[in-house]
Amino acid sequence: NAINIIDGFNGLASMCAMIMLAGLVVVALQLGDNWIAAAGLLLIGATLGLFTLNYPMGLIFLGDGGSYFLGFMVAELGILLIGRHPDVSPLFPLVLCAYPVVETLFTMYRRKVLRGRPVHAPDGVHLHSLIYRRLVRWALGSRNARLLVRRNSLTAPYLWVACSLSVVPAIIWWDSSAVLAGVLLAYVAGYIALYRRIVRFRTPRWLLRR
């Protein structure tokens, strides 16, 4: 479901899934688990084929089936890695998938607690929606079809970086629960701080496109 939540712009969910799968592959290879590494590489290859048609022009889409399948496979491979290798921290898959997981949990909190709506109700204020409206939109203000597609494609790279910011430390400290817990807390704090700034029209200058 977390992958489906972030499937809002061309290339966003598919690239994030490939980044997370790449993290699983790297750790699996370090542990000599060729089966999980091979499964991850097969999924990356299949997703890359879709990505080339989805980004930047949106000629084909993941849809609910594709996003839920990728989410399931990332979660399943992460659980298998923990089960097959006790040295792997139980927090490794969670930190690896911090961006979509934090996005989903924060969305549930925002809908239920802050807005008093059902957690499954749709809305347009996800982090990726805010980046599209308040960062990229102002850089390319025209509403003609060509620039609308370009604006869509320029949104995803911001979130690819956000996804990578948890994947890289997860790869480095995959066997240390204490460090990964600190990374996860820092990631949550950074996510909330960035969200609050963007939603209040106080976007950091370094994020604004020129």
Per-residue pLDDT, 210:
45
| CA–CA separation, 22 and 41 (whole Å) | 8
Q: How is the chain split into domains, by residue range?
A: 2-207
Element (H, E) at 18: helix 12-30
Q: Give the Cβ contact number of residue 150 at 10 Å.
A: 16
Amino acid identity at 18: M
Share of the chain above pLDDT 70, in %: 90
Instruction: Provide Rg for the chain, Cα atoms.
Output: 17
What pLDDT, in 10s, does the model give residues 20-64?
A: 999 999 999 999 999 999 999 999 999 999 999 999 888 899 999
What pLDDT, in 10s, does the model give residues 52-73?
A: 999 988 889 999 999 999 999 9
What pLDDT, in 10s, does the model give residues 192-203?
A: 999 988 887 666
Here the tokens at position 3 are 């992958």
* pLDDT at residue 154 greater than cutoff 70: yes
